[in-house]
């Protein structure tokens, strides 16, 4: 794998892609949060994001590459870690020396991946179809209605909420692990770790709030 042939390089690449995706989540939750406050503002923001060429043709492909890169490398790391240890840790008896989150990153990652497939079927594919396949005329006020419509179905809302809980578990370990992989360890480490915990809980909580808000208010 060339540049990714050393295990340190793989960890750093994993961490960098993780930070990039965490930055995306911050933007994503912020735009979605607008839908709770104002239909017009949400339509304006979505129309901008959906039609701006820089976002559509530069940011979006980079983002999709980032998502695929992160989960492919995640699998590679998991497999390498498993194979590297023919003799299992003498003391790796679960909760005694590691957290559930750290031992189950591949599992929480798979739940998030399943969510992304569902999420793309819900939002992204119809959007690509609307703009680039069916070439329907752009209506800048369509976005809010499309969003609200998706959150009428309690099964979808339930599946989303479960996925957001796994996202929190993934981020709780992921943030501090990515930080550690970057080799940063100094007097600010404890503040960064506590920031990471806040981030890991707040972002999924906001996503849950948005989904439930639309479910209960329409
Ligand atoms: C209440 C929660 C959420 C809502 C309402 C929501 C809404 C949306 C909408 C409307 C789009 C379509 C954007 C477009 O026009 O292309 C979208 C795209 C996307 N969402 Fe979400 N989302 C939520 C949570 C999440 C979460 C938790 C993740 C990641 C774990 C995520 C990942 C993505 C990705 C990767 C895209 C494709 C972005 C693009 O290239 O357009 N979303 N989301």
| CATH code, domain carrying 62 | 1.20.1300
Instruction: Report how far ligand 1's centroid is from the alpha carbon of 192 (Å).
Output: 26
Would you place residue 70 in the very low, low, confident or very high pLDDT band (cuts 50, 70, 90)?
Answer: very high
> Per mean pLDDT, which range of 56-65, 134-143, 171-180, 184-193 is the poorest?
184-193
Q: How far is CA 130 from CA 38, 119, 123, 185, in A?
A: 24, 16, 11, 48
Instruction: Give the residue, by CA position, lying nearest to ligand 1 atom 5.
Output: 32
Does the residue 83 lie in any domain? yes
- Alpha carbon 32 to chain centroid, angstroms: 14
What total of structural domains would you count in the chain? Answer: 1
**Mean pLDDT taken over the chain:** 93
Would you place residue 153 in the very low, low, confident or very high pLDDT band (cuts 50, 70, 90)?
Answer: very high
Task: Decide: helix, strand or coil at residue 90.
Answer: coil
Q: Are 159 and 145 in contact (CB under 8 A)?
A: no
| Residue linked to tokens 């340190």 | 8
The number of C-alpha atoms within 13 Å of 142 and in the hemisphere containing its C-beta is 12
Mean of pLDDT values over 137-164: 97
Pocket perturbation via mutation, ligand 1, pick of 22, 51, 110, 123 by most ligand atoms within 8 A of CB: 123
More confidently predicted of 180 and 40: 40
Mean of pLDDT values over 92-98: 67
Task: Decide: helix, strand or coil at residue 190.
Answer: helix
Q: Are 14 and 74 in contact (CB under 8 A)?
A: yes
Instruction: Report how far ligand 1's centroid is from the alpha carbon of 119 (Å).
Output: 7
Instruction: Give the residue, by CA position, lying nearest to ligand 1 atom 27.
Output: 164
Judged against a pLDDT cut of 90, whether residue 2 lies above it is answered with no
Tens-digit pLDDT profile for residues 99-142: 888 989 999 999 999 999 999 999 999 999 999 999 999 999 99
Does the residue 124 lie in any domain? yes
User: What's the DSSP call for residue 185?
Assistant: -
Q: What are the pocket residues of ligand 1 if the criterion is a CB atom closer than 6 Å to any ligand atom?
A: 28, 32, 50, 60, 63, 67, 112, 119, 123-124, 127, 147, 167, 207, 210-211
Does the residue 138 lie in any domain? yes
Range of the domain at 6: 2-87+101-217
Instruction: Report how far ligand 1's centroid is from the alpha carbon of 104 (Å).
Output: 24
Does the residue 113 lie in any domain? yes
Task: Decide: helix, strand or coil at residue 5.
Answer: coil
Tens-digit pLDDT profile for residues 195-211: 999 999 999 999 999 99
Tens-digit pLDDT profile for residues 4-22: 888 899 999 999 999 999 9
Does the residue 96 lie in any domain? no
Amino acid 182: pLDDT? 87
Alpha helices in the chain (DSSP H): 7-37, 39-51, 53-54, 60-84, 100-103, 105-119, 125-128, 143-150, 154-181, 189-217
Q: Is 2 left (phi over 0), alpha (psi -120 to 50) or beta?
A: left
């Amino acid at each position: 794998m060339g540049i990714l042939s050393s295990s340190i390089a793989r960890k750093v690449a994993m961490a960098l892609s993780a930070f990039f995706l965490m930055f995306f989540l911050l933007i994503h939750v912020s735009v979605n949060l607008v839908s709770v406050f104002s239909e017009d503002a949400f339509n304006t923001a979505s129309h901008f994001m959906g039609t701006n060429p820089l976002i559509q043709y530069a940011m979006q492909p980079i983002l999709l590459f980032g998502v695929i890169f992160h989960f492919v490398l995640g699998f590679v790391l998991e497999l390498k870690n498993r194979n590297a240890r023919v003799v299992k840790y003498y003391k790796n008896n679960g909760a005694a020396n590691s957290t559930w989150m750290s031992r189950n990153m591949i599992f929480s990652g798979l739940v998030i991946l399943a969510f992304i497939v569902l999420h793309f079927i819900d939002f992204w594919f119809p959007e690509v179809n609307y703009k680039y396949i069916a070439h329907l005329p752009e209506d800048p006020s369509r976005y809010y209605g499309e969003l609200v419509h998706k959150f009428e179905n309690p099964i979808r809302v339930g599946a989303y909420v479960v996925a957001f809980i796994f996202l929190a578990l993934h981020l709780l370990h992921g943030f501090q692990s990515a930080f550690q992989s970057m080799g940063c360890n100094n007097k600010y480490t404890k503040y960064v770790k506590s920031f990471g915990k806040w981030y890991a809980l707040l972002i999924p909580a906001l996503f849950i709030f948005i989904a439930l808000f639309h479910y209960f208010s329409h």
